[in-house]
A and B are shown apart, each in its own frame.
Chain A
Amino acid sequence: MRKNRMFPAIVGASITALALASCASGTPEAGGESEERPYEGVELVVTSFGGDWEAALIAGVVEPFEAATGAEVTLVTAYSADALAQITAQAGNPQYDVVHFSGGQELVAAQNDLILPIEASALSTYDELQPLAVEGMADGYGPVIQVTPVGLVYNSEKVTEAPTSWTDVLDPAYAGHVALTDFSNTYGVLSMLRVNDALGSSIDDVTEGLTALGNLAASGDAIVVASSADLQAAFAQRDIWLAPYAQDYAETLRQAGLPVEFVIPEEGITASFITANVVAGRENPELAEMFIDFSLKAEAQQVFAELMRYAPVNTTVELSDDVAGSVLAADQFDTIERYDSQKIADNRQTWTDDWNSRISQ
């Protein structure tokens, strides 16, 4: 029944959008005034990672965006890999306007022309952003909207002395209480690279890291999780004390009432970057750009930092002391060590095959 009502609405909205897009080029600021809203009722489909992340997106971006433009945002839950698989399969007839990627998928998406490059001039926030947030735009990716360090999540009731090094995951004191992340999840690959580095190797030879973590899983001293939901279950029900993961979900777990803390090991800062991208082949790319611009505004960045501990990529954000103390500071951005994403992309399949053969029973 809902379908019958929705269909004409969508068609109507699309026709209105087409007509308006062809004659009017309204600026979003002017659109705030009563009748001049060119995107009134236009639907914008955006991918979401669900849960608390979605709540932060709604509060920080969707609501202000809808209020300012009159557009209607539809959120569809799709993890990065699923979203990329979907827009690849839908090439020619994509169903999303904005996709969020957390695992570097924008690299592949841009290479296959599935996402559109964004011009600096399309972002009103451009001049306020960290250089790191926009450096990929020259290569055709969307800007980084959220930065979260990858480190160690630990149970503060069971682990009295906070871990300090990546090699602590290998410490026999934690045997049976460690959760590693599968390589199907980028955090798994990043933490393996980190452990590998800590053991004295480099990205060019990951045998040490793979062997150390592979043995840990194969011997039963560590379990292997694949998703953030698995991680939550691991800490809540599976007596897990220590897990390499990202700070955003550590914060989610903490807010869910679990006694967990997050620490960045002393070896250095590795981070995961969440990008927002405009999908190619949709009707309203400029509306999608506007949505992304809203994600980069100080107000949105503040909400992301408060709710999920994302380090603001907008330099004008002022955080309360409490929040500022637990997110990456602006001056730490320059010290983030990034692995060569092309090397990761080239080797990931080989590493994954190796990893799978080590851990499967």
Chain B
Amino acid sequence: MTISRREPWLLLLPAVALLALGFLTPVVGMLVSSVIAPEGGGVTLSNFERLFGSEYYLGAAERSLRLSLIQTALAVILATPIAYIMSRATSWVRTAVLVVVILPLLTSVVVRTFGWVVLMGPAGALSSLPGIELLGAGSQGLLGTEAGVVIAMVQVLLPFAVLTILGVMSSVKQELEEASRMLGANFWRTLRHVVIPLSLPGIASGATLVFALSVSSFITPRLVGGVQLPVLAGTIYVDSTVGLDWPFAAAQSVLLFAGVILVIAATLRLGKVDR
């Protein structure tokens, strides 16, 4: 009896070992290096003092958090109806939509982002749309604007949201919807009171995944937003490669990490509440 209980844990061992090696070790190393003084060791908070004393870095952190929350909200709002339609459609429609959703994942994010750079540039198709200046477009089109970054990022993130939400939505029994409709609720009411609440764990985990991907990405913000709209993931990259200031980059990573943990804790709570 005791052995059969241990077996599942044994199956977990490879994944745990991989996590310990590839995730825990570097994270602990990062935490440690952010508070070690450069000469002769000893604990120092100078990296954090520099971080919290700089408008530039605080601005980048604020932008990272704000844009990631907007991107997450938009991705989830767009993904939920797609996932719902897929979960209720005939198998070939479902496959077709799945292909369309997954297709962008098969190209490199750099290539996709360059596509957006062309579309959003001063001569790009998007820049000639009426009302585009309401999104902040100027002489450089949507390039160098936060709206441009959000649009490009949501396209990158959408497949992750759709696939995660789809998994849970497919398991919501259609009979429950039929029961709700039979008892007089219309389509929207059924969606709001039956389907969405039952899918909430999937929506929450989709949001978590999208948020984590969003806050840590720097290629798209860099190519579309440019260096004048710094995000924390981008400043970490520059400070660790160009500046070679790893302890300071580590301090920024700790801040980013703390932010992600807080948001993940909050979304996971949200996912549990309605169950």
- B60, B124, B229, B245: which contacts A237 (Cβ < 8 A)? B124
CB-defined interface of A228-258 with B at 8 Å, one 1/0 digit per residue?
0010010001110000000000000000000
**B243 near A182 (CB under 8 angstroms)?**
no
B38-72 vs A, CB cutoff 8 Å, 1 = contact: the mask equals: 00000000000000001110011000000000000
Interface string of B122-149 (1 = CB under 8 A from A): 1110000000000000111001100000
Of the listed stretches B77-85, B101-109, B207-215, B220-228, name the one at the interface; the rest are far from the partner chain. B220-228
How many angstroms between the C-alpha atoms of A52 and B242 in the bound complex? 23
User: Which residue of B is nearest A218, CB measured?
Assistant: B228
Secondary structure of the A contact surface, majority rule: helix
- Judging by beta carbons under 8 Å apart, are B123 and A226 in contact? no
Q: By the criterion CB–CB under 8 Å, are A360 and B118 in contact? A: no
Choose from A88, A182, A223, A356 the contact partner of B144 (Cβ within 8 Å): A223
A108 to B143 Cα, complex, angstroms = 35
User: Is A176 interfacial (CB 8 A cutoff)?
Assistant: yes
The chain B residue sitting closest to A352, CB to CB, is B243
Docked CA distance A184–B222 (Å): 13
Measured between alpha carbons, how far is A176 from B230 in the docked complex, in Å? Answer: 21
CA distance A138 to B121 in the complex (A): 48
A108 to B123, CA, bound (A): 42
Q: Which of A85, A225, A237 has the most CB of B within 10 A?
A: A237
Is B240 interfacial (CB-CB < 8 Å)?
A: yes
Verify if A324 is at the interface (C-beta below 8 Å from B). no
- Other-chain residue from A84, A225, A239 in contact with B244 (beta carbon distance below 8 A): A84
Number of interface residues of B (CB under 8 A): 31
Contacts of A223 in B (CB 8 A): 140, 143-144, 226, 228
A224 in contact with B121 (CB, 8 Å): no
- The answer, yes or no, to whether A349 is at the interface (CB within 8 Å) is yes
B89 at the interface (CB under 8 A from A): no
Task: Point out the residues of chain B lying under 8 angstroms from A184, CB to CB.
Answer: 227, 238, 242
- Please tell me if the beta carbons of B122 and A237 are within 8 angstroms of each other in the complex: yes
- Judge whether A238 and B138 touch: CB under 8 Å: no
Say if the beta carbon of A353 comes within 8 Å of chain B: yes
A-B pairs with CB below 8 Å: how many?
71
Q: Mark A81-95, 1 if CB is under 8 A from B, else 0.
A: 110110010000000
Of B121, B139, B241, the contact of A220 (CB 8 Å cutoff): B139
How far, in Å, is B119 (CB) from chain A's closest CB? 10
* Nearest-CB residue, chain B, relative to A237: B121
A226 engages B222 (CB within 8 Å):
yes
User: Which residues of B (228-252) have their CB < 8 Å from a CB of A?
Assistant: 228-230, 238, 240-245
Q: Is A359 an interface residue (CB 8 A)?
A: yes
Cβ contact within 8 Å between A226 and B227: yes
C-alpha spacing A85/B242, complex, angstroms: 8
- Residues of A313-356 at the interface with B, using a CB-CB cut-off of 8 Å, are 349, 352-353, 356
Contact of A361 with B by CB under 8 A: yes
Contact among A230, A349, A359, A360 with B243 in the assembled complex (CB-CB below 8 Å):
A349
* Residue on B nearest A175 in the bound complex, by CB: B139
Complex Cα distance, B249 from A88, in Å, reads 15
**Chain A hits for B55, CB < 8 A:** 357
Q: Does A217 contact B (CB under 8 A)?
A: yes
Cα distance A33–B205 in the bound complex, in angstroms: 65
Q: Any chain A CB within 8 A of the CB of B198?
A: no
Q: Assess whether B118 is in contact with A353, with CB atoms less than 8 Å apart.
A: no
- The answer to the question of B117 belonging to the interface, with a C-beta cut-off of 8 Å to chain A, is yes
Q: In the complex, what's the smallest C-beta–C-beta distance from A214 to chain B, in angstroms? A: 11
Contact of B242 among A81, A176, A237, A357 (CB under 8 A): A81
| Cβ-neighbour of A360 out of B59, B222, B240 (below 8 A) | B59
- Interface pairs A-B: 3 shortest CB-CB: A237-B121, A85-B241, A81-B242
What is A's interface to B at a CB cutoff of 8 Å?
81-82, 84-85, 88, 108, 176, 182, 184, 217, 220, 223-226, 230, 233, 237-239, 349, 352-353, 356-357, 359-361
9 contacts between A and B (CB under 8 A): A81-B241, A184-B242, A223-B143, A223-B144, A224-B226, A238-B121, A239-B123, A357-B56, A359-B228
Residues of B within 8 A of A (CB): 54-56, 59-60, 114, 117-118, 121-124, 138-140, 143-144, 222-223, 226-230, 238, 240-245
